[in-house]
Amino acid sequence: MSLLEEIRGPRDLDALTIDQLVELAAEIREFLVREVSKTGGHLGPNLGVVELTIAMHKVFDSPSDAMIFDTGHQSYVHKLLTGRQDFSRLRQEGGLAGYPQRSESIHDIVESSHASSSLSWADGISRAFTMTGQGDRHVVAVVGDGALTGGMTWEALNNISDDNSRNLVIIVNDNGRSYAPTIGGMAHFLNNVRTRRSYRNLYSTTRKLFDKFGGPGRALYRGLRGGTHGFLARFSNNEALYSNLDIKYLGPVHGHDLRALIEVLEQARDFGAPVIVHAITEKGRGYQPALLDVADQFHAVGQIDPETGEPVEVSSKPSWTSVFADEIVHLADANPRLVGITAAMLRPTGLHQFAEKYPQRVLDVGIAEQHAVTSAAGLAFGGLHPVVAVYATFVNRAFDQMLMDVALHKAGVTFVLDRAGVTGPDGPSHHGMWDLAILQVVPGVRIAAPRDATRLREELGEAVAIEDGPTVIRFSKGSVGNEFDAVRRTEDGVDVLVEAPHKDVLIVAVGSMVKLGLEVAERLAAQGIGATVVDPRWVVPVPESIIGLAAEHRILVSIEDGVRVGGIGTRIRQDLRAAGVDTAVTELGLPDEFLDHGSREYILDQVGLTSQHIARDVVAQVLGSKIPVARPLPAEPQSSAARETSNFEEPRS
């Protein structure tokens, strides 16, 4: 039996020697490469924190001591050491989550994986321990160096330094990367520390000197290690970064030297006040394909060949992101006023091609969405048209800035929201399901949801031409599906995709839900129910032609991959009432719940967004047996649907 197989909980580490812990680290890396290559997941970050996580669990006593990971994608090793070694369904329905999850283990605390929040959690937990007389408990927060680019981290540090009597250890996992290389002044400072010859020479020279004296020399070296850490830190001026915060600084320490890590964490544990431990690690450590991946060192991978690191399957269809990446460059070629902004996600959002061609026109501000949006307002004031590209789940963080800095000032800023709707394996914190409900309350906002690649190019061009307020383009994760051509377009830009001779049901499909809307219409047609399917293209504000079409139909069904509460369907219903149109509205979307991880298809099935489920309900509404009930047919002339009502059957799968 391997060492890893014998680990059922953190305290099993107590009986292992340093040499055995080193062997365990090697086994964990082998396990991660083998298992994550089968399912996909965050491989590079976890390969980089193997020794660090082992040392944490060796020194601290979880769950009595609270451990927080910022962000949670670097928690796979933590899962292994806390008894969760079945990775066969990692990030799939019924399997382990890709982030900490309280329902999995008492060792997991913070489930959200929006970066830069861990120190605020740590501040609150440590204060609670102190205030409730639990002074023997520690809080350990692992902060990736990318998280230090977020302003919330520094707000927390400011408050932590105001009360330095708590058992709080902040570990800066400094690998020079977030998704891509870390951006900003903080990154430059840490890069200097990481590469400074004085530190590297002193570290290696002192260790080699004591090694010459054999076992006694190494013992003496370990005894002097704490002093050496402090000396090296002061010599290379690393403490300058934290000097005004009144927080003890230890490091930098080699993040893959288990003995050194354990010793420095023991010092931090026993200090009795907040401590920052600066650990220099290597993302993708021990796996050559990850180390050779210049883009993001295998930050997140799909299914790969564990020997080569090559993807097992490569989609022949372009992704939504790649379509945007090509089109924004095309638009930038024609419009020198276009500039791009992202928050530590240059490649994931598709702005990398823009940056490669026009490096002075693309800004990566680090994990600082709030700053990105207000800076964009400033760029617009200065005569440019900024395109802010982030994941849909992360625009939530900058709502106030979009409302008060962009919209209030009528700034021409375009927001491109990647991974909108149900994203699948990353779980609750990464589903992009709130943007439609949140952003449509912004006065003057215009929101577009393209159904295919052609419409994405078209609507992006329309968005960047608008200069008197914010525009939003949202699209899904993964490959772009088939093209859906319209039979006609209304004067205000609504695409009519299917138009039945008798007007029973109007289906308003938002963006990627067009395919589902068309499938529903086909099922309804088989039951003798006429369905018109429209794609508004611009879903906010609601186009006037949608109101007119709704008045002609017996019932309106809206389908969106955002939350129903406050969604597009709600907006349409309100606009219908304001216009005096009494057509019943069925608003279909996602429930106001935190949806677990799983494939997109599985999740949509679970929440009832399938053609069979929707068609069955609509048939019942047309028949009058389910609320909301469709408006009665006019007395004359009767449509074929009216004559066939008595023969309706529920659709079969």
Q: Largest alpha-carbon pair distance within the chain?
A: 104
Q: How far apart are the two ends of the chain, measured CA to CA in Å?
A: 49
CA distance 74 to 81: 13
Question: In degrees to the nearest 10, what's the CA dihedral of 588, 589, 591, 595?
Answer: 150
- Interatomic CA distance for residues 112 and 93, integer angstroms: 18
Question: Rounded to whole angstroms, how far apart are CA atoms 282 and 299?
Answer: 12
Instruction: Report the alpha-carbon distance of residue 239 to residue 142 in Å, rounded.
Output: 19
Judge contact between 350 and 322, C-beta under 8 A: yes
Sheet holding 584-590, edge to edge: 488-489, 495-498, 531-535, 505-509, 555-563, 584-590
Catalytic residue status for 573: no
Q: Which is nearest to 126 in space by CA: 72, 152, 165?
A: 165
Return d(Cα 162, Cα 179) in angstroms, integer. Answer: 32
Residue 284: both structure tokens together = 């993708």
Of 79, 283, 347, 537, catalytic: 283
What CA dihedral angle connects 612, 615, 619 and 621, to 10 degrees? Answer: 120
643 catalytic residue (yes or no): no
Identified catalytic residue from 35, 51, 369, 587: 369
Cβ neighbors of 288 (< 8 A, separation 6 or more) are: 309
- Among 194, 347, 397, 455, the one annotated catalytic: 397
**Residues 588 and 621 sit within 8 Å (Cβ to Cβ):** no
Does residue 283 have an active-site annotation?
yes
Helix axis angle, 197-211 to 185-195, nearest 10°: 30
68 torsion bin: left (phi>0), alpha (psi -120 to 50), beta (else): beta
Residues known to be catalytic: 283, 369, 397
